[in-house]
Amino acid sequence: MSDVQASGPAETDYQRVERSDEFQSLRKAFRNFVFPMTALFLVWYLLYVLMSTYAHDFMSIRVGGTITVGLIFGLLQFVSTFVITTVYARWANDKFDARAKALREEIEGGEL
Amino acid sequence: MAAEATNVGNTAINIGIFAAFVAVTLVIVFRVSRQNKSAADFYAGGRNFTGTQNGTAIAGDYLSAASFLGIAGAIAVNGYDGFLYSIGFLVAWLVALLLVAELLRNTGKFTMADVLSFRLKQRPIRLAAALSTLAVVFFYLLAQMAGAGGLVALLLGITDKAGQGLVIAVVGALMILYVLVGGMKGTTWVQIIKATLLILGAGAMTIWVLATFGFNLSAVMQEAVNMAGDKGEAILEPGLQYGATALSQLDFLSLALALVLGTAGLPHVLTRFYTVPSAKEARKSVVVAIWLIGIFYLFTLVLGYGAAALVGPETILAAPGGQNSAAPLLAFQLGGEILLGIIAAVAFATILAVVAGLTITAATSFAHDIYASIIKKGQVAPDGEVRVARWTVVVIGIIAIIGGIFANGQNIAFLVALAFCVAASANLPTIIYSLFWKRFNTSGALWSIYGGLISTVVLIIFSPVVSGKPADPVTGLSKSMISNPAIDFHWFPLDNPGIVTIPLAFVLGIVGTYLSKERSHPEKYAEMEVRSLTGAGAEKATAH
């Protein structure tokens, strides 16, 4: 809070953290992971719902016995949900948490 | 055969197993609640649950009677379309995992409104968020309690309305006791026990069904096709339930949208993220919940087709609970009275636990957002707030009992879909904007919440679910809530308004934001953003 040259209201500690390179790169890493992943699963789910609704004949093709393309497609939605969950949890545990924790300790320790 | 099916099972066994469940959970609730002192204990279980415990409790909250009995029944009768329905319920959890759970845990205390009011004007935002919370809970609660009546008829052989009403009252009174004594801690343990029993029970039945057919799913489905009569192969294909007309297809798209976006806005799901000590545990909760819920829905696929194969759709539809009786009848077919008793007890426990979870959420929202923040303007002792929450539990419990008795036998299955639609329209856009959009302000939030809430309720009232569905040629009654076919005031063509109201609420959030001259608070957004991602200053677990 030593910089008193600025004419606007004094900058808060949180704003200074927000501006820091460390936080900006943390935020970027989070958004770069989460936003494309959200777009991906929403598009994949909507594709499935639209196909089930409007591509009846394709979804009804038998691939063996009573197993249809639609059933496989539906089961793949389960698989993709489990995979995205696992990939995200691993990324967050291995890559994100340590950086967030370091920054949190700096903030709570008053170092920033 | 149909007449035989109306009297399956042994009522004494059904009641006995359920009473054992109640006795065991009550003892646990009393034991864990001795340390309930602070507001954080009552509302958030002291934030001391592990991610695995909370994830199991989330699965317990989410796998309501509608999920368990409803989806298995839908697959048994309509085949593929029932399965399609369950997928929306599962994929929805990715929204909660990626965008909501951790950030919410890091910035809030007890309710959704805590997060929204972080950088928006306290009082109007809390009021709006509390009203939409109470609306979602009310619709969801009524659906659960009304379902209880049908279940009573099926499982206890009680067919007169007075007897069913008495059982609904007993269920409601038990629920009030659990929540009053146990608070969030006791409620969470009830959910954990119930989820474990439900998943184990469904898993055992699934293996049993598969074993009957040599562990060949295709063979189960082939037998289901053989039993389906004139529907035949159609149960393997999409469209039996939703594909009749262009309008019903559009209706399904609308429902699919509400399911996938509604979950992360359900208030009783959101409050669960506050029962763990950190964002990391909140993440783990959702991961565990996704696995449990996903595996459970895979079980229901087998159970649904298994019920069609082993019991047959005609017998299911002729039973007192109709479609909902598929899973209990399958249990009876496989394991006789004992297995039916277990499944019946689990189904009751499900209603009890889900209603308890909804009630504590509504009580928290009323006491914390409306009473403490709006009426008392924050000038209230924490124990005063909890006292109000306890009274709210009693009031909501009584409303649930009365509502359940009146709604018993009514066609109100649409209420669960409506709750998801309100959650997706009124809650989710504001949560997302509030967490990720710097320019967002109070005006945008109010436009979005009230716009989403009002548009959903109005469109439902004027939709075919309330009035104007064509009369059934046999009974002469309409399938709408108002069964008199002469009363018809509907003008909105879809049963599910989500396809209109969800985009509308997102747009209203933007319009409202830009129309207001409200000063933005960059310092507040900075604090929220830093805290949401790093966990700095997040609420800690209470020490005991």
pLDDT digits (tens, 9 = 90+) for B460-470: 999 988 888 88
Name the token pair of B208. Answer: 């049993």
Q: How many CB pairs under 8 A join A and B?
A: 151
B182 contact partners, CB below 8 Å, separation of at least 6: B29, B30, B32, B33, B36, B189, B190
Per-residue pLDDT at B447 = 97
Question: In the predicted model, is pLDDT for residue A5 greater than 70?
Answer: no
Q: What average pLDDT does this structure show over A17-24?
A: 91
d(C-alpha B344, C-alpha B135), whole Å: 29
Written as six digits, the tokens of B310 are 């082993």
Mean pLDDT of B381-408: 87
On chain A, the residues whose CB falls within 8 A of the CB of B242 are 53
Residue A1's pLDDT band, with cuts at 50, 70 and 90, is very low
| pLDDT at res. A34 | 96
Q: What is the DSSP letter of B231?
A: S
| Residues 6 or more apart in contact with residue A28 via CB below 8 angstroms | none
Cα–Cα distance measured from residue B142 to residue B408, given in angstroms and rounded to the nearest whole number: 9
More confident residue, B71 or B480: B71
- pLDDT one-digit tens code per residue, B50-74: 999 999 999 999 998 777 888 898 8
A56: nearest CB among B98, B238, B253 = B238
The partner residue sitting opposite B239, judged by closest CB among A46, A56, A81, is A56
In angstroms, the separation between the Cα of residue B15 and the nearest Cα of chain A is 36
A15-36 burial code (b ≥16 CB/10 A, e <16): bbbbeeeebeebbebbeebbee
Q: What is the pLDDT at residue B413?
A: 62
* Tokens (6 digits) for B393: 């539990």
Residue written as token pair 């007449």: B3
Task: With H, G, I as helix, E, B as strand and everything else as coil, classify residue B121.
Answer: coil
Q: What is the pLDDT of residue B400?
A: 87
Q: Which of B209, B113, B155, B82 is nearest to B442 (CA)?
A: B113
Angle at the Cα of B537 from the Cα atoms of B531 and B538, rounded to 5 degrees? 80
Band (pLDDT 50/70/90 cuts) for residue B170 is confident
Mean pLDDT over residues B350-364, rounded? Answer: 89
Which residues share a beta bridge with A62? A68
Interface test with A, best of B87, B226, B293 (most A CBs within 10 A): B87
Count the alpha carbons within 13 Å of B63 in the hemisphere toward its beta carbon.
36
pLDDT of B269-292, one tens digit each? 999 999 999 999 999 999 999 999
| pLDDT at residue B469, rounded to an integer | 83
Measured in angstroms, the CA of A79 and the nearest CA of chain B are apart by 9
Contacts of A32 in chain B (CB under 8 A): none
| Residue of B238, B280, B534 lying closest to A70 (CB–CB) | B238
Confidence of residue B93 (pLDDT cuts 50, 70, 90): very high
Q: What is the mean pLDDT of residues B357-377?
A: 90
DSSP 3-state assignment of B313? helix
Mutation site, B81, B83, B91, interface A, largest A CB count within 10 A: B91
Give φ, ψ of B403 to 5 degrees.
-60, -40
**What is the model's pLDDT at position A2?**
43
A94 touches chain B (CB under 8 A): no
Chain-centroid distance, C-alpha B502: 19
Least confident range from B404-413, B469-478, B494-503: namely B404-413
Is residue B97 within 8 A of residue B287, CB to CB? The reply is yes
At CA B102, angle to CA B541 and CA B504, rounded to 5? Answer: 130
What three-state secondary structure class fits B458?
A: helix
More confident: B202 or B157 = B202
Residue B408: pLDDT above 60? yes
ipTM score of complex: 0.92
Q: Rounded mean pLDDT of B297-304?
A: 95
> CA end-to-end span of chain A, whole Å?
11
What long-range pairs does B130-133 form, CB within 8 A, spacing at least 24? B130/B365, B130/B366, B130/B369, B130/B370, B130/B374, B131/B449, B131/B453, B132/B422, B132/B426, B132/B427, B132/B449, B132/B452, B132/B453, B133/B267, B133/B361, B133/B362, B133/B365, B133/B369, B133/B427
Cα distance from A81 to chain B (closest Cα, Å)?
A: 6
Q: In this model, does residue B345 exceed pLDDT 60?
A: yes
- Whether B298 has a pLDDT exceeding 60, the answer reads yes
> Is B222 in Cβ contact with A88 (below 8 Å)?
no
Question: Is the Cβ pair A56, B529 closer than 8 Å?
Answer: no
Which chain B residue's Cα is nearest to A79? B294
Chain B residue with Cα closest to A14: B527
| pTM for this prediction | 0.93
Tell me the average pLDDT across B523-532: 90
Instruction: Determine the pLDDT at residue A111.
Output: 63
Under DSSP, the state recorded for B518 is P
Could you tell me if B83 and A70 are in contact, meaning their C-beta atoms sit under 8 angstroms apart?
Answer: no
User: Could you tell me if A69 lies within 8 Å of chain B, comparing CB atoms?
Assistant: no
d(CA B82, CA A67): 16
Look up residue B470 and give its DSSP letter: P
Q: What is the pLDDT of residue B68?
A: 80
Q: Check residue B3 and give its pLDDT.
A: 35
The beta-carbon neighbor of B243 closest among A38, A56, A89 is A56
B327 in Cβ contact with B157 (< 8 Å) = no
Cβ(B182)–Cβ(B34) under 8 Å? no
pLDDT category at B409 given cuts 50, 70, 90 is: low
Distances (CA, A) of B272 to B53, B56, B253, B304, B383: 11, 11, 29, 30, 21
- Please state which of the four CATH numbers 3.10.310.10, 3.40.120.10, 3.40.190.10, 1.20.1730.10 is assigned to the domain occupying B2-409: 1.20.1730.10
- Count Cβ neighbours within 10 Å for each residue of A58-75 and write b for 16 or more, e otherwise: ebbeeeeebbbbbbebbe
Checking if the pLDDT of B118 tops 90, the result is no
Locate B81 and state its tokens. Answer: 């379309």
> Could you give the percent of chain B with pLDDT greater than 70?
97
Tell me if B304 sits within 8 A of B311, measured CB to CB: no
Q: Which two tokens stand for residue A36?
A: 């494309």
Q: Cα distance from B503 to chain A (closest Cα, Å)?
A: 15
Q: Which two structure tokens, joined as six digits, stand for B168?
A: 């609904």
Query: Taking 70 as the threshold, does the pLDDT of residue B8 lie above it?
Result: no
What is the per-residue DSSP string for chain A?
------SSSPPPHHHHHHHSHHHHHHHHHHHHHHHHHHHHHHHHHHHHHHHHHH-HHHHT-EEETTEEHHHHHHHHHHHHHHHHHHHHHHHIIIIIHHHHHHHHHHHHTT--
Query: Are the C-beta atoms of B435 and B103 separated by less than 8 Å?
Result: yes
CA B290 to chain CA centroid, Å, is 15
User: What's the Cα-to-Cα distance from B107 to each of B225, B431, B440, B533, rounded to whole Å?
Assistant: 52, 12, 17, 9
Interval A80-111: pLDDT, tens: 999 999 999 999 999 999 999 999 988 888 76
Q: How confident is the model at residue B76 (pLDDT cuts 50, 70, 90)?
A: very high
Greatest mean pLDDT range, B139-143, B218-222, B288-292, B463-467: B288-292
CA distances from B295 to B96, B199, B298, B317, B330 (A): 18, 9, 5, 26, 19
Q: Is the pLDDT of residue A4 over 80?
A: no
pLDDT reading at B4 higher than 60: no
* Nearest chain B Cα distance for residue A5, angstroms: 18
pLDDT at B449 over 90: yes
Which has the closest alpha carbon to B111: B96, B99, B126? B126
Higher pLDDT, B136 or B415: B136
pLDDT tens for B241-279 read 887 888 989 999 999 999 999 999 999 999 999 999 999
pLDDT at position B544: 59
**B237/A68 touch (CB, cutoff 8 Å), yes or no:** yes
More confident residue, B365 or B148: B365
Distance between CA atoms of residues B277 and B288, nearest Å: 16
Which among A45, A84, A108 has the least Cβ separation from residue B260?
A: A45
Question: Binning pLDDT at 50, 70 and 90, where does residue A13 land?
Answer: confident
pLDDT of amino acid B411: 63
The yes-or-no verdict on residue B1 having pLDDT over 50 is no
Kindly report the average pLDDT of chain B as a whole number.
88
